[in-house]
Structure 1
């Protein structure tokens, strides 16, 4: 295994900034946090579409093109600029040129762009300081994980964090990529009982990087229980350097409650003591861990350290600071509603096509509004959350419960699985100000996610910075 980025005695961060959504944890936020000596984290989710949409919006500040000028394969980098860059940005009402929807057999273009996207985001986050930078990916996005991950390593990412699933294969992938070798992950196929594995493989040599050795980053899986942490520590395909222990109050995707799921009067899943990790057992594993979910305060940092944690991971406070990738109008709207106590977060058991509960901020002009959700034409043109399935003749295909109902049913999907499902792919792009305009003229609406701690925004002025958050949290170290 190639050596880790930093020596074992290097100090661990007390504060890890959450890896949130599509571009919310963008390079500007990650760079701001890392510059202060904590661990800034970019989100590598949707990184291929994010790359090309920034270019089509005129690449304000020239940052994307600056990073692409440092990309090791200039032929591919300049082709991406030629294909997507619009000097004056899109015209009013103009749709974004799409990344070709990848399939199991035809994904070359999407994967090339994902490698570039991962590289660009990490490269930009690492400019102007010498501190570590992390990257967050979703385990559920199997079709898109390997190329985005490789792009992050290509830019020298120091830590990889993954949740929304069980990333058992990722440590071995990091080992292989660091050694310049191909790596594979096993594709999860819903309802498959054949036992025939389908592998997704990324070979650096096929993308112009054969024989290139890279520094192997640390790996911190996100887990909700000490049981899963113990299993990963023992059975993962390579080394794990720590864990993020996430409570059900964290934003984004939540693990379903353990055991029989029950719901409250509003339809939200009910979590209990069984859904909290036993920190006594975590300490026995012997690896550092950080507490996430409801940890955005100096008191929480102090309590975490007293319980043997290395620190905390904080999402919500960073999500609404000035450097985050949230659309500025949305960010302001959330803060103003929080300050007037008109903001709610609902743990929606149906919204996400993954089947995981998903925390939704209720805002009138977003897809959290049932009427607006029903008015949206169902379309699947990004496809990150598609699931693999095997048809009657054994062929493996991809489908999404949020796609047009007839299309989903034609792929052996069940009607009940389509109820309440929302297109998170398009909605999260809209959160970051990159809403697609469909051929019908329909402009995609946002759908915000946040941890339960969003109510704490009551005490924060509009326009606060990442430095303000870090200084506030460090008050727990006094």
Structure 2
């Protein structure tokens, strides 16, 4: 096993859309730990930042050094509004992701990911990671290439079985075409659909190879870790072992589905990871999910872990992508002991349980919204009647979902996470009726204990989180 002294003690979690943005990742990496940007929805986020006038000029500064000629100019020409959007103007619609995309659509993904990683790496020499969801298949190859163009140090992936990602990293580092199998609902035995990405299609300079980043798989079971360690098509460099108390999406419980009196999934012994089996793989690992304390770091190190991954404490710090007004409101509720977290088994169109923050004694928010799918990052590819590939989402209009072969029962309780997560960071779409998309804040169970961490403070920085956590490393020595 690699010496833990060469590995971070703390990995900052890759949270939501834009919560783990470049400012947060840069702050953590500058402090000597592993800062991580969320790789979800970066194409839409880039477009909306530009439409809002690119405050501070950060996006344009990064685009100035984007290495593929002509791309930055095309992106700016399409999306940049020097004065921001006029009042009452909605964001432009970005074409939805598909199995086969135009050169320009792929380049928006590549450029957006480059910008986020470049800004996170600016001004220091620490490593920066990027977090992706395996279930969001369509942008993966272009996202990885954009991150590697910017010098990303670590790729973290969960929410699925990323068996082929290590080999993809090897191919993209050499500027070679890369391929992934596309999971298609309803595909027959032997029917194979693929995703392709060719750097040469975009005019990238291929004379010098890129640095191949480390690959850390995010897993919720030792069986999945074992599968990846033994069957992946390239090098796996470590694991993040995530428990069901982590924010965002959680792995579903194993065995018979049961729920508590609040309607939340119940996890049992089968959902506990066998750390002896993890240690036997000989690869570094980090504990995650409720690990945001010095005591958790001390315990993880004693268990043989390289450290911990922490999300919730960073989600509400000054450098988080959560707007300041939203952070202040959340922290005020935390100080008053009025933050709760509900694990909703239905909200996410992915079918994975999803954690929702609830303030005060209010019930879980179910803001009324006309069903509309215009971002589509969580759509599922499916086999159409004519043998092609279509796309559907249980959060889209019910009639449309059923017309595409979906079961109406799958639409019950579903929320549009794509639009909600952009609303969380101040980039919610403005609708024709004058309303803005509703928010849906997510965090881990540790949010319920945030008041204790605050100890009366009204705000805190990423550095204060690290100072707090790393006390656990000192006590374990």
- TM-score between both structures, scaled by the size of structure 2: 0.95
> CA separation of 1:453/1:125 partners in 2, compared to 1, >3 Å: closer, same or farther?
same
What does residue 323 of structure 2 align with?
327
What does residue 168 of structure 1 align with?
163
Say which is worse superposed, 292-301 or 142-151, in terms of deviation.
142-151
| SS of 2:37 mapped into structure 1 | strand
Separation of aligned partners in 2, 1:307 and 1:364: 37
Would you say the 8 A contact 1:101–1:107 is kept in 2? no
Deviation per residue, 1:170-205 (Å, 9 max, x gap): 111101000110111111112333321100011111
Separation of aligned partners in 2, 1:202 and 1:8: 35
Among 316, 324, 328, the alignment partner of 2:312 is 316
What does residue 183 of structure 1 align with?
178
What does residue 416 of structure 1 align with?
409
> CA separation of 1:13/1:53 partners in 2, compared to 1, >3 Å: closer, same or farther?
same
Q: What are the ranges of 5 or more consecutive residues in structure 2 without an aligned counterpart?
A: none
What does residue 4 of structure 1 align with?
none
Is 1:148 the equivalent of 2:138? no
Q: How much does 1:21 deviate?
A: 0.6
Would you say the 8 A contact 2:163–2:233 is kept in 1? yes
Among 298, 301, 304, the alignment partner of 1:302 is 298
| SS of 1:189 mapped into structure 2 | coil
> CA separation of 1:106/1:434 partners in 2, compared to 1, >3 Å: closer, same or farther?
same
What does residue 291 of structure 1 align with?
287
Is 1:238 the equivalent of 2:234? yes
> CA separation of 1:55/1:237 partners in 2, compared to 1, >3 Å: closer, same or farther?
same
Would you say the 8 A contact 1:366–1:445 is kept in 2? no
Is 1:382 the equivalent of 2:378? no
Q: How much does 1:260 deviate?
A: 1.2
Separation of aligned partners in 2, 1:42 and 1:365: 33
Is 1:198 the equivalent of 2:169? no
Q: What are the ranges of 5 or more consecutive residues in structure 1 without an aligned counterpart?
A: 1-6
Say which is worse superposed, 394-403 or 432-441, in terms of deviation.
432-441
Would you say the 8 A contact 1:138–1:163 is kept in 2? yes
> CA separation of 1:365/1:172 partners in 2, compared to 1, >3 Å: closer, same or farther?
farther
What does residue 57 of structure 1 align with?
52
Separation of aligned partners in 1, 2:39 and 2:77: 23
- TM-score between both structures, scaled by the size of structure 1: 0.95
Q: How much does 1:363 deviate?
A: 4.4
Separation of aligned partners in 1, 2:59 and 2:141: 21
What does residue 3 of structure 1 align with?
none
| SS of 1:269 mapped into structure 2 | coil
Q: How much does 1:440 deviate?
A: 3.6
Would you say the 8 A contact 1:301–1:473 is kept in 2? yes
Separation of aligned partners in 1, 2:438 and 2:145: 31
* Residue-pair matches, total: 469
Map 1:427-466 → 2, pairs under 5 A: 427-459=420-452, 460=454, 461-466=457-462
Map 1:28-39 → 2, pairs under 5 A: 28-39=23-34
Q: How much does 1:9 deviate?
A: 8.9
Would you say the 8 A contact 1:366–1:446 is kept in 2? no
Among 37, 42, 52, the alignment partner of 1:47 is 42
Q: How much does 1:108 deviate?
A: 3.5
Separation of aligned partners in 2, 1:190 and 1:333: 41
Say which is worse superposed, 445-454 or 70-79, in terms of deviation.
70-79
Separation of aligned partners in 1, 2:235 and 2:7: 17
Among 211, 214, 219, the alignment partner of 1:218 is 214
Separation of aligned partners in 1, 2:323 and 2:363: 16
Separation of aligned partners in 2, 1:335 and 1:397: 43
What does residue 470 of structure 2 align with?
474
Would you say the 8 A contact 2:338–2:360 is kept in 1? no
| SS of 2:331 mapped into structure 1 | helix
What does residue 355 of structure 2 align with?
359
Would you say the 8 A contact 2:21–2:37 is kept in 1? yes
Separation of aligned partners in 2, 1:285 and 1:253: 26
| SS of 1:199 mapped into structure 2 | strand
Separation of aligned partners in 1, 2:240 and 2:164: 17
Separation of aligned partners in 2, 1:81 and 1:424: 27
Would you say the 8 A contact 1:367–1:446 is kept in 2? no
| SS of 2:230 mapped into structure 1 | helix
Separation of aligned partners in 1, 2:202 and 2:315: 34
Among 19, 33, 50, the alignment partner of 1:24 is 19
Would you say the 8 A contact 1:316–1:451 is kept in 2? yes
Deviation per residue, 1:207-228 (Å, 9 max, x gap): 1226352110000010001111
Separation of aligned partners in 1, 2:80 and 2:250: 36
Separation of aligned partners in 2, 1:180 and 1:66: 25
Question: RMSD across aligned C-alpha pairs, in angstroms?
Answer: 1.7
